[in-house]
Amino acid sequence: MSDLRHRLYHNGGLLAAIGLFGLMFTIYVANHPVGLTAAVAATAANKAVLLALVAMAQTLPVLTRGLDLSVGMVFILANCMASAIVVGTIGEGLLGIAAVLGAGALAGFLNGAIVVWGRLQPIITTLATGAIYYGIALYIRPGPGGDVQSDIADLATGQLFGVVPTALIILLGVVVLVWLPYRNSVLGRAAYAVGSNEQAAYMSGVPVHRAKLLAYTLAGFLAAFGGLMLTFNTYSGEASAPIAGNYTLNSIAAVVIGGTSLFGGWGSAIGSIFGAFVLRTIEDLLFVFNLDPLWQPLFQGVVLLAAVSLGALRVLRIRNRLELFV
Amino acid sequence: MNDPKLQVSTIPVVRFSLDRSVATAFGCIILMLLGGALYSREFLSPEYLLQQLQISAFLGIIASGAMMVILIGHIDLSIPWTVTLGAMMATAVAGWYGDAGAVFAIPAGVLCGALVGLLNGLGVAYLRLPSMIFTLGMNAVVQGLMVLHTGGFAPQDHATDAMHFLAVGRPIFGFPNALFIWILIGAFTTFLLTRTVFGRRVYAVGNRETAAYLSGINTNAVIIWCFILSGAAAAFAGVLLAGYSTKAYQAMGDPYLLPAIAAVVLGGTNILGGRGNYLGTIAGVILITLLQSILAVMQMPEAGRQIIYGVVILAMLLSYGRSEIDRK
């Protein structure tokens, strides 16, 4: 296989997600009453970046053939924490941001520690820790409220030079400063190896434990980053279980749409970003086409089911029936 | 060679083996009751225990279905809205067809749930999509249908007398009907899993589907039937819940997904499939219900409840649910 074909084959899912997003976003902009203005772009970006960050977080454990059902809860926990401590002067706000991100990473590390050393299944571990994180969020914010440092918030949700949404720049920054170094590091590649075949990875001397720990820790960090951005958008914190559940489930859907295999070892966080963009654009499309609100949940559900069913095309390529039973 | 013990042991006897996880779970239940009794005598009164068992029944029925799916190594995330679907369709059918509808209400609700299960099974078995993502999408579709159904057609949402009777009636010696129903469903599930060919196939598929397929088992049929049972069980629990609260409402199934999975896993069933017995699920269900009840009685705020809930599940699993070190 030539290099180009090899690359295309490996990034097929990513390219499909980008194409789908491009198509949907074009339809959206073409039918938007105002068209593509800086404000429209910023609003769309601010909403999409939240799910994109949580979807990136979800990708990392999925690559190691795990799953993190607590990303939504960490997201909400960070939201509640930020609404309590990212206040005061800009300096205090920045300290608060560091504390929130640190807490997110700690939550992720705890997940990883239980999975690695406790030897429990990731699904059930994160189900239980998710309840704990939600409890802490509820403890911090029994009712909706709080505030956030407005200078930082305005900067993070506004536009750079009046054109480019800052949220997109921040997302790009996360990709360049967190994802790409991780992807090219020893532990990042180890995560892919663990996801493909943990036994083989172990036999080859891959640091299995550290790879998993780092994947879950970074997942917590990224989910907390998303929660921080949510706070900048809403200027308040709310410990809402439905929002947390929604983000967890949508993050899994975004990961799948972005071409990452739930069986591990295949995919990328960049695909998940576009998967998240696709999901968000579906909602926006419903808005511009003025669909009856009663029909919206059904339409969203059908599109979600159809999008994930695209994965069934894999079955057509399989020649040996035994390969079906992965 | 004529040692009778050898012959007995070569016959694979499937029975309720009181393994470590089940014993620990039942031990925890007793500890919790004793701990609760220190707080208030009420915890050991027959009335309280019967009430807990009645509430457990709803979770128990859902967990019975969830267990079938977990045993084959899959997971059913469409439970929340299948529960709601069962409740809403049952009450709606009763409203549309009057007296005749009241007769068909419960079967109609269960049938709708089974249909969702059938679609789940078809998607997982033939499209070979990961059950986690396919049932998740299915859940969203059913939610959409129910929003449309309640918003567009304004159906009846009151439970029929029969549903109410099944859920809260106590005609025989003050034993709740819901408990009897759970016992019936539990006995049926146990029979299915331990005494039928289908049950053996469930464990076989859960252990290694390739091997099961090569042994001539129609693994797709097993997968589809397990999802049908899960959908039907969830919908039936929804019907009973509607009877319990006298009406069907949006999102009434949401609080049941995680407890159902947690109950099955706490009962020693392997989340990757292939291992587990129903006695464990019973223990898990009672454990979760009791935990929720005790935290509620102690008037613990919601935040503390969630934290303790998570910590207890983790602590129990860390004490007996750890997988073996797999380095060969």
Taking CB atoms and an 8 Å cutoff, what residues of chain A touch B145?
298
Interchain contact, A294 vs B147, CB within 8 Å: yes
Eight-class DSSP state of A162: T
Distance between CA A267 and CA A65 in Å, rounded? 11
- Residues A184-237 have pLDDT tens digits of 999 999 999 999 999 999 999 999 999 999 999 999 999 999 999 999 999 999
Taking CB atoms and an 8 Å cutoff, what residues of chain B touch A134?
306
Contact B179, B54 (CB under 8 A): yes
CB interface of B with A, residues 289-318, below 8 Å: 301-311, 313-314, 317-318
Instruction: Look at residue A260 and tell me if it is in a domain.
Output: yes
- What's residue B8's pLDDT? 44
DSSP A14-79: HHHHHHHHHHHHHHHHHH-SS-S-HHHHHHHHHHHHHHHHHHHHHHHHHHTT---TTHHHHHHHHH
- What's residue A121's pLDDT? 87
Distance between CA B266 and CA B54 in Å, rounded? 20
List the structure tokens of B28. 């925890």
- Residues B281-296 have pLDDT tens digits of 999 999 999 988 888 8
Nearest Cα of chain B lies from the Cα of A315 at a distance, in angstroms, of 7
- What's residue B324's pLDDT? 67
Instruction: Look at residue A153 and tell me if it is in a domain.
Output: yes
In whole numbers, what is the pLDDT of chain A averaged over residues? 89
Instruction: Look at residue A324 and tell me if it is in a domain.
Output: no
Which domain covers residue A15, as residue numbers?
3-307
Instruction: Look at residue A323 and tell me if it is in a domain.
Output: no
Nearest Cα of chain A lies from the Cα of B315 at a distance, in angstroms, of 10
- What's residue A87's pLDDT? 87
- Section B230-239 average pLDDT: 96
- Residues A288-324 have pLDDT tens digits of 887 788 888 888 888 888 877 877 777 777 777 777 7
The mean-pLDDT minimum among A72-76, B4-8, B181-185, B189-193 falls in B4-8
Instruction: Look at residue A222 and tell me if it is in a domain.
Output: yes
For B132, which of A118, A198, A252 is closest by C-beta distance? A252
Distance between CA A5 and CA A249 in Å, rounded? 33
What's the complex ipTM? Answer: 0.84
- Residues B87-144 have pLDDT tens digits of 999 999 888 887 777 888 899 999 999 999 999 999 999 998 888 889 988 998 999 9
For A301, which of B137, B303, B317 is closest by C-beta distance? B137
- What's residue B263's pLDDT? 92
Interchain contact, A295 vs B309, CB within 8 Å: no
- Section A84-97 average pLDDT: 90
In whole numbers, what is the pLDDT of chain B averaged over residues? 87
What is the domain count for chain A?
Answer: 1
Interchain contact, B130 vs A262, CB within 8 Å: yes
Please check whether the domain covering B56-312 is classified as CATH 1.10.575: no
- Residues A25-60 have pLDDT tens digits of 888 888 887 777 778 888 888 889 999 999 999 999
Instruction: Look at residue A20 and tell me if it is in a domain.
Output: yes
User: Which CATH number is A194's domain given?
Assistant: 1.10.3470
| Cβ–Cβ contact A121 with B under 8 A | yes
- Residues B241-255 have pLDDT tens digits of 999 998 888 889 888
pTM: 0.86
Chain B CA closest to residue A297: B144
Q: Which residue has the higher pLDDT, A6 or B261?
A: B261
Taking CB atoms and an 8 Å cutoff, what residues of chain B touch A202?
327
Most confident of A171-180, B14-23, B258-267: A171-180
Query: In 3D, which of B77, B259, B21 has the Cα closest to residue A127?
Result: B259
